[in-house]
Amino acid sequence: MFRAEAWWTIALILTGAVGGLVYNWPAGATEQDSQSTIRQTAQHPDLIDESRGLTLTTENRHDATRVAPVQLESLRTGDRFLSGGNYIGAYQHYTKIRKQSDHSRDGSIQVRLGLASELAGFLEQSEGHYRSTIQSANATPIEKAWGLIGTARIWHSQGRLDEAISLLSELYLMYGTEAYPTEIRLPINRLLVECLQQRYLKRANDTDKRLPPVQYYWGNTWIDPVLSDAVTLPADRPAAAESKLSVIQKPINDIALILVDAQLRHESLLKLTGDLAQAVDMKFETSPHARAALSGRSIRTDAHALPVSVLLDQALSPLNLVWQQNNGTVSILHDDELDPLMQDRLEMDRIQRLLRQLQLNFNNGTERIAALMNDANNCFVLGTLESAANKYQAARDLKPMDELSALLYFNHATLEQTLHHREIALDKFYRALDQTLSPTLQASCYANIADLELTLGRPGKAIAAASRGLRMSADSDQSSENLMTLAIAYLVEGDPFSANRILFTHSASLTDPRSKRLASVIATFARYQAVGPTRGLQNEGERLVMALAAITPTDARNFVEHLILSRAFAAVGFRTKAIEHLSVATNLVEGGYWENRSRLELSEVLFEASELERANEAVETILQTADVAFEARVRLLDAQIKLGLGRYADCEAICTRLLKLPLDTDSKKQALDLMGQSYQAMDKHYSAALCFAGLMPESASDIPSDHAKQTR
């Protein structure tokens, strides 16, 4: 028994050992056979078994026969990573493929590596991959085009706008006809406009030029066309092909309306200007500085029905040259020969021309709406408000969706706010809020809503909107804007404690010197209102004076900021400064809740400063509007001014009319006191005594109201 069990045990152990060896035996022979099969099918395409794996037709890929199906499937796996947003995973996957494959697909893989690293935020690494694609001998023309466009995108992201514009201008002319796929032409058109627009805005910000706070639509990077095999380029024209330049439309001598066909290959720019002058029968003049820049430079273009103005824009831009037309003469100049204002104007003209081309060439869907909205934004920037309003409405008629619709509502609302159509602007800002998911746009909407609600005399709603905007602010500028509006709204609402608290809590949001100076005044003024003037270390009056001393003339930019500064100056006795800011605030208000209230405050400060004639003019203006909201307060001030001017009969008549209104006890007592002083000045001492005793004289009660109107 013992021997049998031992044999069985040994047999089982041996069986397990043999099984383990078989299971773990290396598959080198199988791999070798597989690699042999791949090499055979690569050399003899007729041996490919189409029922297995993934293959490409030669129509889609010129090198499909050199790539194994398993490699293509692996490439598609990386594409799925990229489309799904896993950019790091896609980059690692493509890197692995590139190490394991031959050089036949270097162009395709390098483009994908560049796109993955670009979307992951590694811009320098991405630029290197795009350059490798352009330089690769195995890259197809479409892959090199993607590499060029990707390089321009990288430069744009890095802020190298001049370099990006130069490259994109050349690409615009190279791929300018409809023979090239939309997937190539559209990114070039769109990115060129974006670079030009952002360069214009950057220059405006550098020169402290105040621009309307409009939002531009910048397109997203297209991923699918880069990964698709269906996007191809037409065959290139032979190197020896003859250059052609012909005019196809010339309604008038305006190069913006003259259309040409231009198939040029390495054409001299100096020769091109001469050929254009001859073709369009116009005079072209080139300055010596511009001629030196044109000398030795050539151009390549393949364009159909292209305006001469756009052709010149793209041909001259890489050399820092511009053109101007004066009647039948076109002048070509260098940027250095123009003043900054002229440079900005010509730059904006170029942007507007490209936006029109974008609308004409891609007239369906989002691109046309975005181009039309950006065109309207530029009209707004240039001050042609009616044209901007018409274009905003035209873009709205095209029924935009999602974020583009929200941006359009926001920009249109900003225009209506500028035109003082406050209720319309408020409605559009709320519509923008309803359609956006962007916290940045939401914070901007809330900031504008709070400002409008404050201007409309609804500080409670302004507080609610500014509080939400402050919570959603994505950057310091938005936080500062919402914070300042919120603090001012608390002051207007009569809650100085909350104004001081909110500024103290969010003081880190104030990053620019202007906001810090204003916030210091508002916080100190809030404490001064709550505590009053005291002595010692807590003397808020001294602190308020010091805060006001730091204010510069340009710190206050809107009505409410001037209003608060005027109140702060008046509180510590600087009436001249108070009058100055309140006068500006009154001029900035056009109708609405604050129009007469600001004038009334101005009248009161003028009266306290003994500027009675100006105070009288301001009060007369208020009384002409027949605003009964605060008639008693206005007429009491009017009576005081008339008494100060020595017009006692007018003062007595105003008080008589005032006493017929429903007044509180204090106002009635003040009116009788003013009437008594008038009677006393007119030597009617008995009537004056009755007034000082709180009684209405009979002679005064018999005066008809019509007579009061005449005497006033």
Which stretch of 99-108, 142-151, 297-306, 389-398 has the lowest confidence by average pLDDT? 99-108
Domain span at residue 316?
A: 241-362
Task: Identify the residue with better confidence: 222 or 7.
Answer: 222
Q: What percent of the chain has pLDDT over 70?
A: 85
365 band by pLDDT with thresholds 50, 70 and 90: confident
Is 321 inside any structural domain? yes
Task: Identify the residue with better confidence: 248 or 476.
Answer: 248
| Category of 151 on φ-ψ map: left (φ > 0), alpha (ψ -120 to 50) or beta | alpha
Q: What is the Cα–Cα distance from 92 to 122, expressed in whole angstroms?
A: 13
**Count of domains in the chain?**
3
- Evaluate if residue 597 carries a pLDDT over 60: yes
Is 290 inside any structural domain? yes
Rg (CA), the chain: 38
- Same-domain status, 221 and 251: no
Nearest CA-CA partner of 638 in 711, 562, 563: 711
Is 149 inside any structural domain? yes
Is 353 inside any structural domain? yes
- The DSSP H or E segment spanning 703 is none
699 band by pLDDT with thresholds 50, 70 and 90: low
Q: What is the β-pairing status of strands 283-286 and 329-334?
A: parallel
Question: Averaged over 674-688, what is the pLDDT?
Answer: 89
- Same-domain status, 151 and 104: yes
Phi, psi of 87 (to 5 degrees): -70, -40
| Dihedral angle, C-alpha 458, 461, 465, 470, nearest 10 ° | 80
Q: Can you read off the two tokens belonging to residue 520? A: 């210091």
Q: What angle do CA 441, 447, 453 make, to 5 degrees?
A: 130
Report how far apart, in Å, the C-alpha atoms of 573 and of each of 97, 488, 535, 567, 616 are: 78, 21, 17, 10, 21
Q: What is the Cα–Cα distance from 682 to 679, expressed in whole angstroms?
A: 5
- Same-domain status, 273 and 182: no
pLDDT 10s digits, 255-265:
999 999 988 88
Phi, psi of 641 (to 5 degrees): -65, -45
Which stretch of 13-17, 393-397, 554-558, 573-577 has the lowest confidence by average pLDDT? 13-17
Q: Can you read off the two tokens belonging to residue 360? A: 């004409």
- Same-domain status, 75 and 198: yes
List the helix and strand counts (H, then E) for the chain: 34, 6
Is 437 inside any structural domain? no
Question: Averaged over 328-335, what is the pLDDT?
Answer: 91
- Same-domain status, 288 and 171: no
Phi, psi of 697 (to 5 degrees): -65, 145
Q: Can you read off the two tokens belonging to residue 445? A: 């909407």
Is 74 inside any structural domain? yes
pLDDT of residue 633: 86
Identity of the residue numbered 499: A
Which stretch of 5-19, 48-62, 274-288, 318-332 has the lowest confidence by average pLDDT? 48-62
Q: Which residue has the tokens 């799904």?
A: 84
Identity of the residue numbered 289: H
3-state class (DSSP) for residue 234: coil
Nearest CA-CA partner of 435 in 399, 391, 393: 399
- Same-domain status, 216 and 266: no
Indicate the burial class of 122 (C-beta count within 10 angstroms; 0-12, 13-18, 19 or more).
middle
Answer yes or no: are the C-beta atoms of 369 and 395 closer than 8 Å: yes
pLDDT of residue 163: 95
Nearest CA-CA partner of 370 in 378, 437, 146: 378
User: Final residue of a domain: which of 335, 362, 389?
Assistant: 362
Which residues, listed in sequence order, are joined to residue 263 by a DSSP beta bridge? 244, 302
Is 176 inside any structural domain? yes
Q: Could you say which DSSP state residue 219 is in?
A: P
Q: CATH number of the domain that 185 lies in?
A: 1.25.40.10
- Same-domain status, 248 and 334: yes
Q: How many CA atoms lie within 13 A of 11 on its CB side?
A: 6
Task: Identify the residue with better confidence: 311 or 536.
Answer: 311
Q: What is the Cα–Cα distance from 345 to 378, expressed in whole angstroms?
A: 11
pLDDT 10s digits, 614-653:
988 888 888 887 666 678 888 889 899 998 889 989 998 9
Q: What is the Cα–Cα distance from 80 to 227, expressed in whole angstroms?
A: 10
Answer yes or no: are the C-beta atoms of 351 and 192 closer than 8 Å: no
Alpha helix (H) residue ranges in 136-237: 141-157, 161-174, 182-206, 224-227
User: Final residue of a domain: which of 309, 336, 362?
Assistant: 362
Alpha helix (H) residue ranges in 532-626: 540-549, 559-571, 575-588, 594-608, 612-624
Q: How many CA atoms lie within 13 A of 423 on its CB side?
A: 3
pLDDT of residue 264: 87
Answer yes or no: are the C-beta atoms of 71 and 101 closer than 8 Å: yes
Q: Chain-centre distance of CA 428, in angstroms? A: 17
- Evaluate if residue 293 carries a pLDDT over 70: yes
User: Final residue of a domain: which of 362, 381, 411?
Assistant: 362
pLDDT of residue 658: 86
Q: What is the Cα–Cα distance from 254 to 282, expressed in whole angstroms?
A: 10
Asked whether the CA dihedral 534, 539, 540, 541 is positive or negative, the reply is positive
- Same-domain status, 74 and 222: yes
Is 200 inside any structural domain? yes
- Spatial CB neighbours of 35, under 8 Å, sequence gap ≥ 6: none
pLDDT of residue 407: 96
3-state class (DSSP) for residue 139: coil
Which stretch of 79-93, 205-219, 643-657 has the lowest confidence by average pLDDT? 205-219
Q: CATH number of the domain that 295 lies in?
A: 3.55.50.30
Nearest CA-CA partner of 377 in 407, 403, 399, 357: 407
308 band by pLDDT with thresholds 50, 70 and 90: very high
3-state class (DSSP) for residue 247: strand
- Same-domain status, 201 and 304: no
- Same-domain status, 119 and 186: yes
12 band by pLDDT with thresholds 50, 70 and 90: low
- Same-domain status, 205 and 119: yes
- Same-domain status, 146 and 276: no
Q: What is the Cα–Cα distance from 98 to 257, expressed in whole angstroms?
A: 50
